[in-house]
């Protein structure tokens, strides 16, 4: 990485931003990506890119080999996959749930999806049309903005509770108030949380679970960052501690398990949703109007998977099955390569904190946060938008926290995945220059 003079020429940065017609503080991840690409091209300089939450590692060769064999030897490319998934992936997911969540489920309840996005999309629909008059979906924010777009596509309203000022008993009390209205069909959160990296405690999951049972609301648990609370080791099959989950506290859940981050397998769009066995068997007359069947598990497959994609790419199902089986059998520990993100987050957070920044979401009910894929920072009294404008002039890109549904205006979300450890000296140099000019 070159060491350009800092700050970059402000007039050029501002001109490129203006050409894109969107303020950095309002830019989506992809828009920010395009703006930064354009500045890089104009200046011939590289950014420290923290805007994009993409995996920075390579998929395991086991998956690639399994896909090749599925196509070249087993010839699965010419055959429609079953809508409810290839049995080998369903069984592998069953094994994974037992080994890493200590959750016994029938293979039937594990449904392959075209990426976790697909699982979230269908889950939101199922939760929202399960009963009449549940016209609203609730998020524990901040979160992934596209989940709110999914609600819009379904024609479902959204509400949110912010984890910034709602943790522990306060979170549960706020949740009770919302669920008691009767308008909420489902609730979604990720833990570790994108973007704040707060992790819900067992007591919080227990509270959420009890309320979901009481009000018959589906908890859609987005496990995109499975095992990535690195304060614990969740990567040993059949050995506690297990990844925390609401599934221990209620039968009203759908778990969405992504392969993009834990296996860096984002390109092949394959994931698994696990529907609670109790929900899977439930009969919900209201579902039939949208999904063509009143059986909830059947609705997920025949009203969800079938009309959207008619099943999941055959070779990728075989690839993911190979990965899940390998980690269940202890052939490799999926958390080992991921700890690279922990090391990066430690180094990056230290560089920010040393140069006048502070964490926005800064503790887990009093405990220090884990180091992982994302963190949130603010500087002085700059709001997120102003902070981004300034950081762009120092070759550092991120997205505004406000775009993630956070109530906090002052911060940005930083992703560690594209900043390797050898880039840390340059990150420090840039943040020092920034701090020198703004202190």
Closest approach, Cβ 341 to its own copies, in A, equals: 14
Per-residue binder mask for its own copies (CB under 8 A), 26-65, x = binder: ----x-----------------------xx-xxx---xx-
Closest approach, Cβ 294 to its own copies, in A, equals: 13
At residue 181's C-alpha, the angle toward residues 298 and 219, to 5°, is 40
138: β partners: 159, 187
Q: What are phi and psi of 221, to 5 degrees?
A: -95, 115
Q: Considering only 78-86, 160-168, 176-184, 199-207, which stretch makes contact with its own copies by CB under 8 A?
A: 78-86
DSSP assignment of 103-165:
----GGGEEEESHHHHHHHHHHHHHHHSSTT--EEEEEES--HHHHHHHHHHT-EEEEEETTS
Find out whether 253 and 247 touch, Cβ atoms under 8 Å.
Answer: yes
Q: Considering only 77-85, 89-97, 184-192, 389-397, which stretch makes contact with its own copies by CB under 8 A?
A: 77-85
Map the footprint of its own copies across residues 318-337, applying CB under 8 A.
319
CB nearer its own copies, residue 20 or residue 435:
20
Find out whether 119 and 255 touch, Cβ atoms under 8 Å.
Answer: no
Binding status of residue 190 toward its own copies by CB under 8 A: no
- 58 to 26, 202, 261, 326, 417: CA distances (angstroms): 31, 32, 10, 16, 12
From 41, 173, 239, 310, residue interacting with its own copies (rule: CB under 8 A):
310
Q: Considering only 103-111, 309-317, 359-367, 378-386, which stretch makes contact with its own copies by CB under 8 A?
A: 309-317
Q: Considering only 94-102, 315-323, 390-398, 400-408, which stretch makes contact with its own copies by CB under 8 A?
A: 315-323
From 5, 21, 44, 79, residue interacting with its own copies (rule: CB under 8 A):
79
CB nearer its own copies, residue 171 or residue 224:
224
CB nearer its own copies, residue 103 or residue 272:
272
Q: Is 191 helix (H, G, I), strand (E, B) or coil?
A: coil
At residue 405's C-alpha, the angle toward residues 404 and 410, to 5°, is 80
CB nearer its own copies, residue 48 or residue 301:
301
Closest approach, Cβ 153 to its own copies, in A, equals: 5
Closest approach, Cβ 293 to its own copies, in A, equals: 10
- By DSSP bridging, strand 374-379 and strand 253-258 are unpaired
219: β partners: 187, 253
Closest approach, Cβ 218 to its own copies, in A, equals: 18
From 315, 335, 376, 419, residue interacting with its own copies (rule: CB under 8 A):
315
Task: Quote the tokens at residue 120.
Answer: 């979230």
How many CB atoms are closer than 10 A to CB 258?
24
CB nearer its own copies, residue 125 or residue 209:
125
Q: Considering only 42-50, 95-103, 275-283, 304-312, which stretch makes contact with its own copies by CB under 8 A?
A: 304-312
Residue 149 CB contacts under 8 Å (≥ 6 apart), including other chains: none
- Report the alpha-carbon distance of residue 273 to residue 122 in Å, rounded: 10
Q: What are phi and psi of 347, to 5 degrees?
A: -70, -40
Binding status of residue 308 toward its own copies by CB under 8 A: yes
Cα Rg for the chain, rounded, in angstroms? 22
Per-residue binder mask for its own copies (CB under 8 A), 142-181, x = binder: ----x--xx-xx-x--------------------------
Q: Considering only 217-225, 258-266, 339-347, 399-407, which stretch makes contact with its own copies by CB under 8 A?
A: 258-266
Map the footprint of its own copies across residues 111-130, applying CB under 8 A.
114-115, 117-118, 121, 125
- Report the alpha-carbon distance of residue 394 to residue 101 in Å, rounded: 43
CB nearer its own copies, residue 185 or residue 209:
185
From 85, 207, 311, 411, residue interacting with its own copies (rule: CB under 8 A):
311
- 395 to 48, 60, 258, 352, 415: CA distances (angstroms): 6, 32, 31, 14, 15
Q: Is the peptide bond before 90 cis (omega within 30 degrees of 0)?
A: no
Closest approach, Cβ 118 to its own copies, in A, equals: 5
| Sites of contact with its own copies (CB under 8 A) | 30, 54-55, 57-59, 63-64, 67-68, 71-72, 75-81, 83, 114-115, 117-118, 121, 125, 146, 149-150, 152-153, 155, 260, 264-270, 289-292, 303, 306-316, 319
């Amino acid at each position: 990485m070159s060491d350009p003079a800092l700050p970059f020429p402000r007039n050029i940065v501002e001109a490129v931003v203006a050409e894109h017609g969107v303020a950095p503080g309002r830019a989506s991840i992809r828009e920010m990506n395009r703006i930064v690409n354009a500045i890089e091209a104009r200046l011939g300089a590289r950014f420290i890119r923290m805007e994009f939450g993409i995996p920075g590692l390579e998929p395991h060769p086991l998956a690639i080999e399994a896909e090749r064999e599925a196509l070249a030897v087993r010839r699965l490319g010419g055959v429609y996959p079953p809508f409810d998934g290839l049995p080998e992936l369903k069984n592998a997911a069953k094994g994974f749930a037992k080994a890493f969540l200590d959750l016994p489920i029938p293979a039937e309840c594990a449904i392959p999806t075209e990426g976790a996005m697909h699982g979230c999309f269908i889950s939101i629909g199922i939760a929202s049309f399960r009963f009449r008059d549940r016209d609203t979906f609730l998020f524990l924010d901040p979160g992934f903005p596209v989940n709110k777009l999914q609600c819009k596509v379904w024609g479902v309203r959204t509400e949110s509770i912010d984890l910034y000022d709602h943790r522990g008993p306060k979170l549960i009390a706020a949740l009770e108030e919302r669920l008691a209205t009767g308008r909420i069909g489902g609730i979604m959160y990720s833990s570790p949380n994108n973007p704040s990296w707060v992790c819900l405690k067992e007591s919080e999951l227990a509270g959420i679970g009890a309320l979901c049972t009481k009000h018959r609301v589906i908890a859609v648990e987005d496990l995109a960052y499975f095992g990535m609370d690195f304060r614990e080791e969740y990567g040993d099959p059949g050995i506690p501690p297990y990844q925390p989950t609401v599934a221990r506290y209620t039968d009203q859940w759908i778990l969405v398990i992504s392969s993009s981050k834990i296996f860096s397998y984002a390109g092949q769009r394959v994931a698994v949703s696990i529907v609670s066995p109790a929900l899977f068997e439930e009969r919900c007359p209201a579902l039939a109007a949208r999904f063509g069947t009143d059986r909830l598990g059947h609705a997920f497959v025949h009203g969800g998977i079938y009309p959207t994609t008619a099943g999941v790419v055959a070779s990728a199902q075989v690839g993911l099955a190979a990965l899940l089986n390998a980690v269940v059998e202890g052939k490799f520990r999926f958390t080992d390569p991921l700890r690279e993100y922990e090391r990066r987050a430690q180094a990056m957070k230290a560089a920010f904190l040393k140069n006048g920044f502070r964490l926005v979401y800064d503790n887990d009910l009093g405990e220090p946060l884990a180091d992982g894929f994302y963190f949130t920072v603010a500087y002085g009294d700059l709001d997120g938008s102003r902070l981004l404008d300034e950081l762009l002039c120092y070759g550092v890109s991120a997205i505004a926290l406000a775009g993630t549904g956070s109530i906090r205006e002052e911060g940005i979300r930083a992703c560690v995945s594209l900043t390797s450890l050898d880039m840390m000296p340059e990150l420090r140099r840039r943040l020092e220059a920034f701090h020198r000019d703004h202190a």
